[in-house]
């Protein structure tokens, strides 16, 4: 494979190279890459905006993360935040900083993933910045989305008696990480050993190439459901539940047996001799949606197998409780993916 | 001074600490920090968006950059891009990544500067991200602004015969950098020596605490001027002129004697035995506005001392030319602030 040095392009050449094939998809994208700022238009809608910073060695490990997947995921994790407002993502900006360890071909691979995500989710890349980094690969993404003012769903508006629901299944991504970290360790100790991760493709795929729940937000629209509160599950179910309860000034009860965990995740958890429920509660990086619904909306979701009802909202004084499979009540504690606690 | 470890707060505690005093100033800011995404509203206007990534050791040196100034500048450089679209900035997001070398007090100082800039320019901080970094301080800012669709000014719309103008004066920031780099070197060699930079406060101030040209965009509004093209001068006059000519498919002629250079900059340049014009052409980080005007708008700016007319736009085939004080014609070449050429 050929290697083109980034310095051969210069900054403007590099930006041009990385963005030359963009075709804007949204009518609201008036001006894209190539001026001081991009310009977007809104026809009576409101704009949701979110931003994430991803740092090599903290948020991802290039030893086992293909650049294409990394580009894809960098976009998806931001879109997930937009969907969590019940909004439709429309534009992103993408900034990267890299050292000369990267070739232009490597960046192309990363951007292939970025563009694949943009295409899949119908968003336009409209701007960004490239810079040199002293160490490691740094990614900053900002995503914008549109939402009708009467459809925005916040974290702070859950009501007593509301059903607590989540999409998809939880805990897989964390187990994917455990497998890859274990294989990395083995590889570093004995580089000749080929890892066999085929059996774990589900949990590893969930870590390396997560999807945002566009389909769930579309389902809400189709069924005319407006959740009473919503957020995406990036730090683990416990942490997000506590956020909703704090913001909404309420308590909650959830049932361990109702928490959706896939068969693949269960098997993977048993290999590491850890509790699959703990992975769902504290694992993080699932990018599923956690939301609350009025009880009268229950019928609208009963046939929707992608949605699980896991509990209900209680009064503030009642605390946050999980009822285990054995029938015991325990307080829910946040042991989420805390970058500062774990990594600094 | 007390030192609070960032780890004492945890990520969410830190975000709360850094953002707890925000009061939203713009009616378009519907939801700020604290949900998955912020929400903004637009009343028939369009949104300009821009983003910048600032990396310690590449874009700034903490040996001589006070954190408060750095916070201020991080905001201002993005607002400058919004003004360069003839738009009014309304919101920013601010993401930072830092190692445990930083205390909470240090971050507070940085955010003091961020909030000072937000207040001065009337923008709301509506979101962001905090993360751990493996090395150095990393800042990512995204700015949004509002503009009437018929007032957006792009780079690509300069017309033949248009006057080329710029605001303020150029080259100072680069000389500020030369002084600070020189003093850093002296300090590292003999730490006892106290630097005497008082005489250079203008050029150093231009580097460390630049302002965005809000006043110029307000002046355009007041005088009903819409430039035919515009961009901000962040990489040096030459580089920006070439951008406008390339995007607008035209050439240009500028006159060395018309390029605004302050007396302080001239004196500073002579101390380093370099040509002040070279600093203006290639220095960068001035954050002035470069724009083109129809000739019939000339009368509207004659009394505006903050604006200099430095040349005019020519046909595409004529190239880009600077006429020196001695009357010689030279092609303009870009030797701007190219992060990739210089730093990788």
Q: Render each residue's pLDDT in chain A as its tens digit; 344 residues.
A: 678 887 787 767 776 787 777 777 776 666 666 677 667 666 677 888 999 999 999 999 999 999 999 999 999 999 999 999 999 998 899 999 998 888 888 989 999 999 999 999 998 888 888 888 988 999 999 999 888 888 989 999 999 999 999 999 999 999 999 999 999 998 888 887 777 788 899 999 999 999 999 999 999 999 999 999 999 999 999 999 999 999 999 999 999 999 999 999 999 999 999 999 999 999 999 999 999 999 999 999 988 889 999 999 999 989 999 999 999 999 998 764 333 333 32
- Per the DSSP assignment, residues forming a β-bridge with B146 are B47, B88
State how far the Cα of B337 lies from the Cα of B298, in Å rounded to an integer.
31
The number of residues in chain B equals 344
**Interstrand relation of A124-132 and A88-98 (parallel, antiparallel or unpaired):** parallel
Helices (H), B122-271: 172-189, 201-208, 214-223, 237-248, 263-271
- Name the minimum distance, in Å, from the CA of A39 to any CA of chain B: 4
Which residues fall within 8 angstroms of residue B144, CB to CB, at 6 or more apart? Answer: A49, B40, B47, B48, B49, B82, B89, B90, B91, B92
- CB-CB: which of B51, B145, B340 is closest to A11? B340
- Enter the tokens of residue B273: 């035995």
- CB-CB: which of B35, B42, B231 is closest to A155? B35
- Per the DSSP assignment, residues forming a β-bridge with A91 are A124, A144
From B230, which residue of chain A is nearest by alpha-carbon distance? Answer: A36
Tell me the residue ranges of DSSP E strands in chain B.
Answer: 29-31, 38-41, 46-55, 88-98, 124-132, 138-147, 163-167, 229-233, 251-255, 288-293, 307-314, 320-323, 329-331
Q: Any chain B CB within 8 A of the CB of A82?
A: yes
- Per the DSSP assignment, residues forming a β-bridge with B330 are B322
pLDDT value at position B337? Answer: 39
- A44 or B291: whose pLDDT is higher? B291
Q: Any chain B CB within 8 A of the CB of A333?
A: no
- Enter the tokens of residue A341: 């606690």
Q: How is chain B split into domains, by residue range?
A: 6-151, 163-343
Which residues in chain A touch residue B12, judged by CB atoms under 8 angstroms apart?
243
State the best of A339, A340, A342 to mutate against chain B, taking most chain B CBs within 10 Å. A340
Q: Which fold has domain A6-150?
A: 60s Ribosomal Protein L30; Chain: A; (3.30.1330)
- Enter the tokens of residue A178: 């455990």
- CB-CB: which of A47, A142, A339 is closest to B131? A339
State how far the Cα of B244 lies from the Cα of B250, in Å rounded to an integer.
8
State the best of A36, A80, A127 to mutate against chain B, taking most chain B CBs within 10 Å. A36
Which residues fall within 8 angstroms of residue B182, CB to CB, at 6 or more apart? Answer: none
pLDDT value at position B33? Answer: 66
- Name the minimum distance, in Å, from the CA of A198 to any CA of chain B: 32
- CB-CB: which of B10, B243, B339 is closest to A132? B339
- Per the DSSP assignment, residues forming a β-bridge with B329 are B323
From A41, which residue of chain B is nearest by alpha-carbon distance? Answer: B46
State how far the Cα of B50 lies from the Cα of A237, in Å rounded to an integer.
33
- Name the minimum distance, in Å, from the CA of B318 to any CA of chain A: 23
Q: Which residues, numbered 140 to 159 in chain B, qualify as contacts with chain A under a Cβ-Cβ cut-off of 8 Å? A: 140, 142-145, 147, 149, 152, 154-156
pLDDT value at position B137? Answer: 95
From B54, which residue of chain A is nearest by alpha-carbon distance? Answer: A131
| CB A265 within 8 Å of CB A175 | yes
Q: Using the predicted structure, report yes or no on whether residue B198 has a pLDDT greater than 90.
A: no
pTM given for the model: 0.89
pLDDT value at position A131? Answer: 87
Percent of chain B whose predicted confidence (pLDDT) is above 70: 91
Number of H helices, E strands in chain A: 11, 13
- Name the minimum distance, in Å, from the CA of A181 to any CA of chain B: 18
Is residue B210 packed enough to be buried (19+ CB in 10 Å), middle (13-18) or exposed (0-12)? buried
Would you call B165 helix, strand, or coil by DSSP? Answer: strand
Which residues in chain B touch residue A86, judged by CB atoms under 8 angstroms apart?
none
Q: The complex's ipTM?
A: 0.86
| CB B199 within 8 Å of CB B341 | no
- Enter the tokens of residue A237: 């179910």
pLDDT value at position A20? Answer: 76
Q: Using the predicted structure, report yes or no on whether residue B99 has a pLDDT greater than 90.
A: no
- Give CATH for domain B163-343: 3.90.650.10
Q: Any chain B CB within 8 A of the CB of A7?
A: yes
| Cα angle for residues B204, B341, B183 (degrees, 5° grid) | 30
pLDDT value at position B199? Answer: 85
Which residues in chain A touch residue B338, judged by CB atoms under 8 angstroms apart?
10-11
Q: Any chain B CB within 8 A of the CB of A185?
A: no
Q: Using the predicted structure, report yes or no on whether residue B342 has a pLDDT greater than 50.
A: no
State how far the Cα of A283 lies from the Cα of A277, in Å rounded to an integer.
9
Which residues fall within 8 angstroms of residue A68, CB to CB, at 6 or more apart? Answer: A109, A110, A112, A113, A116
Q: Any chain A CB within 8 A of the CB of B86?
A: no
Mean of the per-residue pLDDT values for chain B?
89
State how far the Cα of B271 lies from the Cα of B266, in Å rounded to an integer.
9
Which residues in chain B touch residue A143, judged by CB atoms under 8 angstroms apart?
37
Starting at the edge strand found earlier in the chain, the sheet holding A124-132 runs A124-132, A88-98, A138-147, A46-55, B38-41, B29-31
- Enter the tokens of residue B12: 């969410």
From B8, which residue of chain A is nearest by alpha-carbon distance? Answer: A341
pLDDT value at position B19? Answer: 76
| CB B170 within 8 Å of CB B238 | no
Judged by CB atoms closer than 8 Å, whether chains meet at B49 and A96 is answered as no
pLDDT value at position A337? Answer: 39
Q: Which fold has domain B6-151?
A: 60s Ribosomal Protein L30; Chain: A; (3.30.1330)
Which residues fall within 8 angstroms of residue A267, CB to CB, at 6 or more apart? Answer: none
| CB B235 within 8 Å of CB A12 | no
The mean per-residue pLDDT over the stretch B139-148 comes to 92
State the best of B26, B28, B37 to mutate against chain A, taking most chain A CBs within 10 Å. B37
Starting at the edge strand found earlier in the chain, the sheet holding B320-323 runs B229-233, B288-293, B163-167, B307-314, B251-255, B320-323, B329-331
Would you call B126 helix, strand, or coil by DSSP? Answer: strand
- Enter the tokens of residue A296: 């009268």
Q: Any chain B CB within 8 A of the CB of A343?
A: yes
From B6, which residue of chain A is nearest by alpha-carbon distance? Answer: A340
Which residues fall within 8 angstroms of residue A336, CB to CB, at 6 or more apart? Answer: A235, A236, A238, A239, A240, A282, A284
Would you call A143 helix, strand, or coil by DSSP? Answer: strand
| CB B58 within 8 Å of CB A134 | yes
Q: Any chain A CB within 8 A of the CB of B18?
A: no
- Name the minimum distance, in Å, from the CA of B52 to any CA of chain A: 6
Which residues in chain B touch residue A133, judged by CB atoms under 8 angstroms apart?
55, 58
| CB A281 within 8 Å of CB A217 | no
State how far the Cα of B305 lies from the Cα of B78, in Å rounded to an integer.
25
Element (H, E) at A114: helix A104-121
DSSP annotation string for A264-333: HHHHHHHHTT--HHHHHHH-----EEEEEE-GGGHHHHTT-TTEEEEEEEE-GGG-EEEE-TTS-EEE--
From A239, which residue of chain B is nearest by alpha-carbon distance? Answer: B12
**Interstrand relation of B124-132 and B163-167 (parallel, antiparallel or unpaired):** unpaired
Q: Any chain B CB within 8 A of the CB of A107?
A: no
């Amino acid at each position: 494979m050929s290697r083109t040095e980034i310095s051969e392009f210069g900054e403007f050449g590099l930006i041009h190279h990385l963005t030359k094939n963009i075709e804007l998809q949204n009518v609201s994208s008036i001006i894209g890459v190539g001026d001081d700022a991009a310009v977007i238009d809104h026809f009576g809608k409101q704009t949701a905006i979110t931003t994430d910073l991803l740092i090599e060695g903290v948020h991802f490990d290039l030893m086992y993360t293909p650049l294409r997947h990394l580009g894809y995921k960098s976009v998806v994790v931001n879109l997930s935040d937009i969907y969590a407002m019940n909004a439709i993502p429309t534009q992103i900006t993408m900034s990267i900083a890299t050292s000369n360890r990267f070739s232009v071909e490597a960046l192309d691979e990363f951007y292939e993933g970025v563009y694949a995500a943009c295409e899949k989710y119908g968003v336009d890349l409209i701007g960004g910045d490239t810079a040199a980094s002293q160490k490691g690969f740094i990614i900053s993404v900002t995503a914008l989305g549109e939402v009708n003012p009467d459809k925005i769903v916040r974290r702070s508006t859950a009501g007593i008696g509301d059903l607590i629901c989540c999409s998809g299944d939880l805990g897989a991504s964390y187990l994917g990480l455990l497998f890859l970290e274990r294989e990395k360790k083995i590889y570093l100790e004995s580089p000749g050993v080929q890892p066999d991760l085929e059996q774990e493709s589900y949990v590893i795929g969930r870590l390396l190439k997560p999807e945002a729940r566009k389909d769930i937000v579309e389902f809400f629209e189709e069924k005319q459901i407006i959740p009473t509160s919503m957020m995406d599950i990036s730090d683990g179910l416990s942490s997000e539940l506590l956020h909703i309860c704090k913001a909404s000034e309420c308590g909650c009860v959830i049932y361990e047996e109702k928490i959706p965990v896939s068969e693949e995740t269960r098997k993977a958890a048993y290999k590491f001799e850890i509790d699959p429920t703990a992975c769902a509660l504290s694992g993080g990086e699932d990018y599923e949606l956690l939301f609350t619904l009025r009880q009268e909306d229950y019928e609208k979701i009963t046939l929707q197998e992608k949605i699980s009802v896991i509990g209900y909202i209680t009064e503030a004084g009642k605390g946050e409780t999980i009822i285990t499979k054995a029938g015991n009540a325990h307080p829910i504690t946040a042991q989420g993916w805390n970058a500062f606690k774990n990594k600094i």
